[in-house]
Amino acid sequence: MKLILLGAPGAGKGTVAKLLTEVDGSVQISTGDILRGAVAAGTELGKKAQGFMDAGDLVPDDLIMGIMGDRLQEDDCAKGFLLDGFPRTIPQAEALKVLLTDLGIELDMAVNLDVARDVILDRLSTRRTCSNSDCQAIYNVKSNPTKEEGICDKCGSPVVQRADETEEAITHRLETYNEKTAPLIGFYEKEGLIVNVNATSSDAVVAAITEKL
């Protein structure tokens, strides 16, 4: 499947993407994970991106398109891909359209995960992420805690609160989402690709998506 997952930070795009990879072997492509990996590895990309990320601002479109132009041409994308956190702006969506046309790839749909703001605020402030950039497993202190406090079940690395998941950064990320990313719903509606899903449970979202495919 070739999908875009749209939705505010904390809507569950990453969780749904991981579940969908198990359906048919499509790969999850998370620009946030790629960027956090680059920051942890101290690459040029990471150095350029870190300040924007920590403040809860978007990384400039040209950096993101550089990453995605390469990533979508890798062999593992042939089976399908789940775009998680990309595109985030209208210019990214327009650039993606050109890129996909050039590569001869057609999208199945753009899924909009619709979640109430109070649920999102609660989820993000209680979310914890594995600090190992090769793992980045996600936990929640309330609904999905680690077996041993502060230690990743999968790889044993410390589990931390992301720098952009403080209350101040979360508020700013949600404002950025409303201003820059929410307009993509209209963009993909015009393209005839939008599917709105009420994202109460990730399993229900996955069922709704697989039914539509």
Active site residues: 13, 88, 127, 162, 173
Question: CA distances (Å), 107 to each of 23, 44, 102, 103, 115, in order?
Answer: 17, 31, 13, 12, 23
**Binding flag, residue 120, ligand AMP (CB under 6 A):** no
Selected range binding ligand AMP among 48-56, 103-111, 112-120, 183-191, rule: CB under 6 A? 48-56
Question: CA distances (Å), 28 to each of 69, 131, 138, 142, 145, in order?
Answer: 15, 19, 14, 25, 23
Residue type, 58: L
- Cβ distance to ligand AMP smaller for residue 9 or 80: 9
Q: What residue is closest to ligand AMP based on CB?
A: 32
**Binding flag, residue 53, ligand AMP (CB under 6 A):** yes
Selected range binding ligand AMP among 27-35, 153-161, 182-190, 199-207, rule: CB under 6 A? 27-35
List 18, 52, 121, 166, residue binding ligand AMP (CB under 6 A): 52
Question: Any idea what DSSP says for residue 201?
Answer: -
Alpha helix locations (H) across the chain?
A: 13-24, 31-41, 44-55, 61-71, 90-103, 117-125, 167-176, 183-190, 202-212
**Binding flag, residue 128, ligand AMP (CB under 6 A):** no
**Binding flag, residue 59, ligand AMP (CB under 6 A):** yes
Question: CA distances (Å), 131 to each of 13, 135, 145, in order?
Answer: 19, 8, 15
**Binding flag, residue 170, ligand AMP (CB under 6 A):** no
Contact map string, positions 75 to 104, toward ligand AMP, x by CB under 6 A: ----------xxxx---x------------
Please measure the distance between the N-terminal and C-terminal CA atoms of the chain and give it in whole angstroms.
8
List 15, 28, 31, 136, residue binding ligand AMP (CB under 6 A): 31
Please give the distance of CA 52 from its chain centroid, rounded to a whole number. 16
Asked if 155 and 137 count as a contact pair (C-beta separation under 8 A), the reply is yes
Minimal distance, residue 52 CB to ligand AMP, in Å: 5
Give the interface with ligand AMP as residue ranges (CB under 6 A).
9, 31-32, 35, 52-53, 56-59, 64, 85-88, 92, 164, 173
